[in-house]
């Protein structure tokens, strides 16, 4: 195939696979690719990027007769962005308008209309960040010696509830500490290995409902990896999520990809006793508690949201 003259829209997924395969930072795990309706990478596709980088890439839009042209030198990344969007479209994940909306959904806290939680930066919380839906803040555990001093001040910054993600610690004592400062408390433990017991899975509906209330402070030991996982789980299991979460622990594309893949494995572990056989671990009652019409609706939506998380965090 001559990749310098790609004009057939049906070849776009293959071209995208070629681009993704060429770089570890853009590679899609084959298991994830299969879930999204994308065919396995071929050897031919893995070598195609060398040809694409030496030529202009013609991409035919869905409107007949309209073609975008990107000169590879100095402009390959924009071309890849379009290609990555197209593969989601081909897989039936999202249309162009939704993709455009997703890519701009991450809130910038220094915008002209800053978040009401921006003043909370004064608390000097380790790895402080405002969640992408502007519903709360995230950071390191508030139950360290330093953190307890912070808890007493949270209410002054608009925080009404604390979600503790650490698997250790005394939830009764932590709850009492929060209550003294007029804060609600929830323990949603995520183990370091992120293996999900039925007891922890049963807490997900309560966790999602707690985040729906907003005005929260959510954190794990460092406020990074397990906090990323928890906010991603809210995105996957909430029928009406506000925005795609940003993976704050991803300090590089490789690391972001690794974090996302770990989250996807956790979601599979929660949803299925046997993913390959399609045997669900969850019940209809679980789906109903979250507000889904039925379990099938929830499970069918998961691959779409995996793709959106990958797109917004620029790992696809």
Positions of the chain with pLDDT under 70: 1-113, 194, 316
Query: CA 109 to CA 137: how far, in whole Å?
Result: 11
The model's pLDDT over 205-248, given as tens digits with 9 standing for 90+, comes to 999 999 999 999 999 999 999 999 999 999 999 998 877 898 99
Examine the domain organization and report whether 75 and 130 are in the same domain: no
Concatenate the DSSP letters of all residues of 16-70 into one string.
HHHHHHT-TTTPPPHHHHHHTTPPPPPHHHHHHHHHHTTSEEEEE-SSTT-EEEE
Examine the domain organization and report whether 152 and 246 are in the same domain: yes
Examine the domain organization and report whether 154 and 218 are in the same domain: yes
* pLDDT score for 15: 46
β-strand partners of 67:
60
CA 126 to chain centre: 21
* pLDDT score for 266: 93
Examine the domain organization and report whether 185 and 270 are in the same domain: yes
Instruction: Evaluate whether residue 98 is within a structural domain.
Output: no
Examine the domain organization and report whether 160 and 59 are in the same domain: no
Query: CA 252 to CA 208: how far, in whole Å?
Result: 28
Range of the domain at 172: 118-312
Examine the domain organization and report whether 134 and 180 are in the same domain: yes
Nearest to 141 by CA among 164, 174, 109, 110: 164
Examine the domain organization and report whether 86 and 147 are in the same domain: no
For residue 216, give the CATH number of its domain: 3.90.190.10
- 6 phi and psi angles, rounded to 5 deg: -75, 115
Instruction: Evaluate whether residue 109 is within a structural domain.
Output: no
* pLDDT score for 254: 84
- 216 phi and psi angles, rounded to 5 deg: -115, 160
Instruction: Evaluate whether residue 144 is within a structural domain.
Output: yes
Instruction: Evaluate whether residue 31 is within a structural domain.
Output: yes
Query: CA 250 to CA 290: how far, in whole Å?
Result: 28
Nearest to 88 by CA among 132, 52, 35, 47: 35
- 106 phi and psi angles, rounded to 5 deg: -75, 120
* pLDDT score for 133: 84
Instruction: Evaluate whether residue 220 is within a structural domain.
Output: yes
Examine the domain organization and report whether 34 and 75 are in the same domain: yes
Instruction: Evaluate whether residue 139 is within a structural domain.
Output: yes
Instruction: Evaluate whether residue 42 is within a structural domain.
Output: yes
Nearest to 230 by CA among 262, 182, 271: 262
Q: Residues 174, 176, 178, 181: is their CA dihedral positive or negative?
A: negative
Examine the domain organization and report whether 134 and 281 are in the same domain: yes
Cα three-residue angle 128-134-135, rounded to 5 degrees: 95
Examine the domain organization and report whether 220 and 270 are in the same domain: yes
Instruction: Evaluate whether residue 113 is within a structural domain.
Output: no
Examine the domain organization and report whether 195 and 74 are in the same domain: no
Which of helix, strand or coil describes residue 272?
Answer: strand
Q: Residues 50, 29, 298, 312: is their CA dihedral positive or negative?
A: negative
| Pairing outcome for strands 279-280 and 56-60 | unpaired
Query: CA 193 to CA 198: how far, in whole Å?
Result: 15
Query: CA 39 to CA 42: how far, in whole Å?
Result: 9
Examine the domain organization and report whether 139 and 35 are in the same domain: no
**Total of domains in the chain:** 2
């Amino acid at each position: 195939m001559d990749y310098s003259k790609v004009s057939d829209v049906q070849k776009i997924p293959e071209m995208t696979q070629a681009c993704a395969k060429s770089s570890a930072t853009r590679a899609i795990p084959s298991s994830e690719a299969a879930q999204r309706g994308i065919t396995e990478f071929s050897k031919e596709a893995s070598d195609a990027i060398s040809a694409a980088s030496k030529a202009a890439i013609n991409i035919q839009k869905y409107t007949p007769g309209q073609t975008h042209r990107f000169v590879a030198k100095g402009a390959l990344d924009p071309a890849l962005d379009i290609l990555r969007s197209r593969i989601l479209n081909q897989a039936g994940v999202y249309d162009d308008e939704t993709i455009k909306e997703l890519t701009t959904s991450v809130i910038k806290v220094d915008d002209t209309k800053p978040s009401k939680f921006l003043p909370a930066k004064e608390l000097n919380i380790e790895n402080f960040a405002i969640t992408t839906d502007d519903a709360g803040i995230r950071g390191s555990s508030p139950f360290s010696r330093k953190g307890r001093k912070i808890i007493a001040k949270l209410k002054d910054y608009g925080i009404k509830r604390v979600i503790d993600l650490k698997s250790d610690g005394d939830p009764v004592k932590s709850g009492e500490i929060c209550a003294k400062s007029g804060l609600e408390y929830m323990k949603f433990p995520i183990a370091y290995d992120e293996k999900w017991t039925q007891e922890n899975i049963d807490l997900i509906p309560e966790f999602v409902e707690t985040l729906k209330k907003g005005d929260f402070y959510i954190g794990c030991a460092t406020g990074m990896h397990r906090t990323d996982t928890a906010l991603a789980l809210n995105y996957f299991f909430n029928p009406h999520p506000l925005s795609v979460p940003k993976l704050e622990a991803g300090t590089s594309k490789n690391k972001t990809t690794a974090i996302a893949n770990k989250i996807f494995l956790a979601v599979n572990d929660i949803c299925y006793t046997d993913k390959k056989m399609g045997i669900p671990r969850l019940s209809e009652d679980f789906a109903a508690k979250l507000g889904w019409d039925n379990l099938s609706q929830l499970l069918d939506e998961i691959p779409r949201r995996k793709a959106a998380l990958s797109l917004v965090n620029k790992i696809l």
